[in-house]
Structure formats: structure tokens, C-alpha cells
Amino acid sequence: MIEPGNSTTSTSDTDRTGLTGATGAPGSAGRNLRVASGVTTPLTVGVEEEFLLVDAHTLRVVPAAPLVLATAAGLPQQVHAEGTRYQVELATPVAHSAAALRADLAGLRRTLAAAARAHGCRLLAAPSPVMAVEGPLHLTDDEPRQREQHRRFGALTDTLVSCGRHIHIGTLDVDTAVAVSNRVRPWLPTLIALAANSPFWGGRDTGHSSWRAMAWSGWPSAGPPPHFTSTAHFRRSVQTLLGSGAALDTKMVYWDLRPSGNWPTLEIRAPDMSPDIDTAVLQAELGRALVATALRELAEQRPDPPVRDDVLRLARWRAAHDGLEGFGLDPYTGAELPAADLAEALLDLVAPELAAAGDLDHAAKTLGGLLRDGSGAARQRAAFARRHDLTDVLRLLVEETENF
């Protein structure tokens, strides 16, 4: 039986020392709070979204990022290069409401889509290229770091041609972000299930709803974050990754959840990229509300939730495998439960904070739509089932991406 009521940025990141130690913020308004300082301030949200660029006719990925970014150069703070030349990234301004966040996402997507069309491309909000990438991997040209990453990690860098969504919740100092991380981490598998959108990879059905989550797990610095006993423990864990060679630098701390290295935020990195903007906003609303709930529990001095690392890893795999349509694992007990029940338990847990932020109606409606109409992974499989043609999957993704 799940007990939610008792649960006690990307390539632009630079080391603000949140990862190694400082402060700095992207970030729907909530009612909480910086517990460590005793100051109550609204929580903010910012989102980074990664996109693939595909040829308008063949729908295969093309290394057109430099051209597209040059065309969109009027927004230097909001559009960026990613790890490969097949990708572009947007970063929203700090938002104080879900409505503002949605407007920012729609506007930036529209700008990037227009820039892509100017160069014979389409914007693809998908975690994977669906079809296999042809020829050698095109890393970002002006990043010697990317070449060193390829030299050290070899075929693991093939997974760089994948896209996620990173949600920054702030403003939080590092001590508070570490404490909040312990309370948010049990729900990471449910967030993965809600966003599952990568069943096809390399031209075939992987048998998983979020293959991106599984492929990304190959990196030694990825997966669920540890339970941290203190901020010093967090910093030691980061230093262990660096000292072991598992990460080149703090940008390669690829945990599903981490204090940001660039902003005074907690960064949720687990979800797949998905084309539907309302699903993106739902993830941000749930993430903000989870942080607000954790802050309230910290203020009430509740103990950390008793979540075993092995159970959390298994719950993460089951979420990536089944997505929203199958089953998941109760992160507290390991019991098998319908993924839809886990999603509704999460909504029930954070409903007070969603209501305080004015987000409850939108979150409940969007979650209800996902449960009724299917996750991104389910929609892709339905598109493929009609003719067994992967271009139908890609057309669906492109159309949904450009539905601003």
C-alpha cells in the first residue's frame, strides 16, 4: 500500500558550486519557502527542452543546429546548442505561474520551428530519432569537451542523440536543495512513467516505453541520486564521480535529480521530452508541488522517507518499461501497483500545493487526459500499428510538436 501522505541545466550549466557548493535561478508560483533561512518566498519554475532536427521530407535527423541557431540568434539567452549538431535546446525565462510557463514554451517552440523550416527542417520534440542515425556522430563542433567525452566514454556518447526535459524549481540554497532531493526522489519513477515517450530507437520497438531512461542509465553518473545524509555527503558523492573518472566535470553529474550546477534550483532531469506542451506544464506543476510538499515536511521536521536504493532502481526500470499503461512499483514497499494508481497517488499527495498555486485544475485535467488517451509511448505505438511504418510515428511527433 503506497503511503504518499507519509512520505516524509543541461549544456548551459557551469559550476556555481552547487555541485561541488552557491546560489544563483530559473523557476509556477507556490506558497513556499526557503526553509534553511526561514524566509517564505514563492517557488519559481524554469524548463529546458531539447529537440531533434529532422529533414522535412525524409524525417531523418540532420546536423543543422548551427544554421537553425544562427537564424534564431535574436534569443541568445533562450536557445542553445546541445551535445550534437542534430539538436537544439530552449530555456524558458523564470516563470511565476504555470500560465506564464506555457506561454513561454509555446513562443520559444514557435521561434525554433520557424528557424528549422527556414533550413528545410522540422522540429521534433522526441527523446530519440526513432530511426537509426546514419553515418558518424556529429558532435558539437566548437566543444573540445564533447570530443574528450567521446574519447573517454566511446559508444556511450551515441546516447547523446536523445532529448530530455529538465525542470528547475527555485529558489533554493544548496543545503535545502539536498534535503528536498531526498523527499522528491521516491517519485522520480512516476514522473518517468508520465512522460514516457521513447518506445522506438534505432528503427525498432525496444519493448520499453522510455528507452531513453534505460539508454541514459548506461552512463556511470546517471540514474537515481543517492539518499544524502548531509550536504557534505552530497559533495563527497560528486567528488567521487569526478575522481573515479565517471564524470569529466560537474556538468556530467547526470542524476535524475540534482541541485543545479548553474542556478539556485533543484533540477528534475528524469522525464522524456514530449511534444505536448500541456504534458510539459504538468511535469513542471508536479515538480514544483513536490518541492513545496517536501519543504513543508522539512519545516514540520518529519523524518526522511524510508526508500531503499534497490527498490528505487527497480521502480525506475519498471516505469521505463511499462510507462503509464502498465504497472509500477510502490517506492516505499516495492509492491506492484497499476502505474495509473501511482500517478493518481502523486496527484493526491501534492494536491494542496497545486491548489495553493492555482495549478490543481490544469494538473488534474491533463493527467486525466493522459490516462484516458494514452501516454506519448502509447500514441507512437498506435501510429505505428496502422501501417507498420516508422515515418507515421515521426509525422505524428512533428505534428504534435508544432501544435502550439
How much is the average pLDDT of 133-150? Answer: 78
DSSP percent split of the chain into helix, strand, coil, nearest 5: 45, 15, 40
pLDDT band for position 47 (cuts 50, 70, 90)? very high
Of 103, 77, 102, 74, nearest to 90 by C-alpha is 77
Q: Does residue 223 contact residue 217 with C-beta atoms inside 8 Å?
A: yes
Strand duo 222-223 + 265-268: pairing: unpaired
Q: Provide the pLDDT for residue 326.
A: 97
pLDDT mean across residues, the chain: 89
Place of cell 518506445: 199
pLDDT band for position 134 (cuts 50, 70, 90)? confident
Place of cell 514516457: 196
CA dist., res. 394 & res. 122, Å (int): 10
216 pLDDT above the threshold of 90 = yes
Q: Please tell me the pTM assigned to this model.
A: 0.90
- Convert the pLDDT of each residue in 262-293 to its tens digit: 899 999 999 999 999 999 999 999 999 999 99
pLDDT band for position 12 (cuts 50, 70, 90)? very low
Q: Provide the pLDDT for residue 291.
A: 98
CA dist., res. 68 & res. 119, Å (int): 7
35 pLDDT above the threshold of 70 = no
pLDDT band for position 28 (cuts 50, 70, 90)? very low
Amino acid at 208: H
14 pLDDT above the threshold of 90 = no
Cell of 253: 553529474
Q: Provide the pLDDT for residue 322.
A: 98
Lowest mean pLDDT among 34-43, 69-78, 159-168: 34-43
Q: Does residue 192 contact residue 328 with C-beta atoms inside 8 Å?
A: no
305 pLDDT above the threshold of 90 = no
CB atoms within 10 A of CB 20: 17
Q: Provide the pLDDT for residue 114.
A: 96
Q: Does residue 139 contact residue 11 with C-beta atoms inside 8 Å?
A: no
1 pLDDT above the threshold of 50 = no
How much is the average pLDDT of 345-371? Answer: 97
102 pLDDT above the threshold of 70 = yes
Domains of the chain are 4-401 (3.30.590.20)
CA dist., res. 20 & res. 1, Å (int): 38
15 pLDDT above the threshold of 60 = no
How much is the average pLDDT of 221-231? Answer: 96
List of residues 6+ apart from 112 with CB closer than 8 A: 51, 68, 72, 79, 88, 90, 123
How does 212-223 read in b/e, with b if 16+ C-beta sit within 10 Å? bbbbbbebebbb
356 pLDDT above the threshold of 50 = yes
346 pLDDT above the threshold of 90 = yes
- The CA-CA-CA angle for residues 352, 357, 360, to 5°, reads 60
Helix (H, G, I), strand (E, B) or coil at 143: coil
- The CA-CA-CA angle for residues 172, 177, 178, to 5°, reads 160
Strand duo 44-55 + 79-81: pairing: unpaired
Cell of 148: 574528450
How much is the average pLDDT of 167-176? Answer: 97
Question: What is the signed CA dihedral for 155, 163, 331, 244, rounded to 10 degrees?
Answer: 40
136 pLDDT above the threshold of 80 = no
373 pLDDT above the threshold of 50 = yes
- Convert the pLDDT of each residue in 57-68 to its tens digit: 999 999 999 999
DSSP string, 240-290: HHHHHTS-SSGGG-EESEEE-SSSSEEEE--SBP-S-HHHHHHHHHHHHHH
30 pLDDT above the threshold of 70 = no
81 pLDDT above the threshold of 80 = yes
13 pLDDT above the threshold of 80 = no
DSSP H/E element including 336: strand 336-338
How much is the average pLDDT of 7-34? Answer: 37
Q: Provide the pLDDT for residue 141.
A: 61
